[in-house]
Structure 1
Amino acid sequence: MRPECHPPRFAVADAVQRALVEDLTPLGDLTSSLLPADLRASAAFVPRRDGVLAGRSCAEETFRQVDASVEVSWSADDGDQLSAGMPFATVEGRLASILTAERTALNFLGHLSGIATQTRRFVDAVAATGSATKVWDTRKTTPGLRVLEKAAVRAGGGANHRGNLSDWILLKDNHLALMGVSAAVHQARIRWPGRTVHVECDHLEQVEEALAARADALLLDNMTPEQVAECVVAADVHVARLGGRRPLLEVSGGITLDTVASYAVLGVDCISVGGITNSAPVLDIGLDIDQI
């Protein structure tokens, strides 16, 4: 397994438990309870389209919580490319248990693999330019599933932005409208001296002010490629004049597969895309069952 592509065990167990409670409260799977208790079957997970696998640990945990005697075997790990029609895992055990767990396992696999697949598309588009720019996610995630979705981004080859509001300081437009860039960075240094200070910038003048305030990272928001290029030059000139490390430069706001390459070649460090989590199409995966 690739540990870096999988979410923490506690997050998986919690998400699966909540999903099963939603599906089985209060009386369990009424339909599957009609089946003979000793009837066994095998089944295969099969993608209907090409994609990237994510959510393996969630699928395993689903079967474990429904019936620990069900055996799941994998020929692929999170981050692997899947080919339409080619099975990547098998399940063996009581048919009733398999059917009870089926939809929950598929929901996790389809949703998370969809995120990994969409992320890989952006990563490949950036890589085709020869740029080392990273594709970043955002906090535009499904409530309660952020840890799982960010793991799926990693499975797709992307990198994670901050996990939550406690990770670091991101001074956005509504903060800056009240405090101003210099004062906000200064207050952040006093209050949280060990934290990254990240400043959202809408135009070149804000970039110059954030550079002068020694911000750790700049978010270049909703800018054209031409505007971003000017900001990159400003950052490089600032470092050449005063020394030190160039702040991390992030581009964000309306980036699509059609435009991501035009930003990746400009010398920025990261491109954040909310769409890889909040609107990634589900990867269609089925569980094809053969009764034993």
Structure 2
Amino acid sequence: MTTPTDQLLSFFAEDVPAGDITTVALIPDKVVSARIEAREEMILAGVEECIWLFEHFGVSVMAEAEDGEQVAAGTKILALAGSVHAILAIERTALNLLGRMSGIATATAVAQEFAAQVNDHVRVAGTRKTAPGLRYFDKKAIRIGGGDPHRDSLSDAFLIKDTHRALLPVADAVRRAKEFSLYRKVECEVENLIDAVAAAEAGADVLMFDNMTPSAVHGAIAALAARGLRKRLVLEVSGGITPETLHLWAGIDVDRISMGALTHSVRCADVSLEIE
């Protein structure tokens, strides 16, 4: 089984398959000091991974900030001391991961804070819309930013989607999932009031209102409440929700707002490495 440290080494190997020819050609190897710093305000994520990478290749690291910390532009994150060849070889791998993870954590924190201002029990959640190979790190960044990572993989929980419902009725799908295992939650994606009620009455634990309008979601929740089903359900909305449209959903009585945009449209935070 591939571990996160195996992945970190594969990222490095991709960037340095046969050595850093520019640094080796230009600079004799020697011990130098360097720093990694933030160039903008951000929630840090990926610091732990950067420390592991540098230390694995013999570079001494002193952490000046840690994952989950909000830092301002100019904040020193890591102080480095060691082989200039090692530091410059690792530089881009470390900065890419730190920038991506911090960008995800920052976007998650902003979305979670906004949603919580109008709904004190809602969590912003991620999705499986991540780049292959980066899911562990993307999901970790969401957790650091205060969001719900949702499923890590298809093996974690049942999620009955439209592609499943195209092949059998929603109530049958829920019942089959619950018969398959009593130990895993059953979530069902629904696109209208009728399917929402059918899935809930069949025993679904979580309903995901997918690609529905806010007014349609309000109507479905009212119908569930009228049947005494709302309180035992976790309710989620999804479908094209972005930071720009989050305000349309934040005030609805749901428990989760899933946003693929947190990971499929990442804006990397600006970080840099400077030789001292």
TM-score grouping bracket, smaller chain normalisation: over 0.9
Structure 2 unpaired stretches of 5+: none
2:232 partner SS? coil
- AA paired with 1:255? I
Where in structure 1 are there 5+ consecutive unaligned residues?
Answer: 1-9
2:148 to 154, 159, 163: 159
Report if the CA contact (8 A) 2:104-2:268 is conserved.
Answer: yes
Aligned to 2:44: 53
**For 1:103, what is the secondary structure of its paired residue?**
helix
Indicate the residue corresponding to 1:12 in structure 2.
Answer: 4
Aligned pairs (5 A) from 1:188-227? 188-227=177-216
Q: Name the TM-score, length of structure 2 as normaliser.
A: 0.94
Does structure 1 residue 258 correspond to structure 2 residue 238? no
Correspondent of 1:139 among 124, 128, 145: 128
Name the residue aligned to 1:182. Answer: 171
2:157 aligned with 1:171: no
TM-score (norm 1): 0.89
> Structure 1 CA distance, aligned partners of 2:118 and 2:64?
32
**Contact 1:199-1:215 at 8 Å conserved across structures:** yes
Q: Structure 1 residue 89 and structure 2 residue 78: aligned? A: yes
Equivalent residue for 2:101?
A: 112
Q: 2:207, 2:119 → 1: CA distance?
A: 23
Note if contact 1:131-1:264 (Cα within 8 Å) is conserved in structure 2: no
Name the CA distance, whole Å, in 2 between partners of 1:234 and 1:266.
Answer: 14
Contact 2:55 2:61 in 1 (8 A): no
Corresponding residue of 1:3: none
Aligned residues of 1:45 and 1:88 also touching (Cα < 8 A) = yes
Alignment root-mean-square deviation, CA: 1.6
Runs of 4+ in 1 over 3 A off after TM superposition: none
State the Cα distance separating 1:36 from its structure 2 match.
Answer: 2.1
State the AA in 2 paired with 1:75: E
Determine the C-alpha separation between the residues in 2 that align with 1:124 and 1:186.
Answer: 36
**Does the CA-based 8 Å contact 2:119-2:253 persist in structure 1?**
no
Q: How many residues align?
A: 274
Given that 1:11 and 1:148 are in contact with CA atoms closer than 8 Å, whether structure 2 keeps it comes out as no
Structure 2 CA distance for aligned equivalents of residues 232 and 130 of structure 1: 15
Asked if 1:43 corresponds to 2:34, the answer is yes
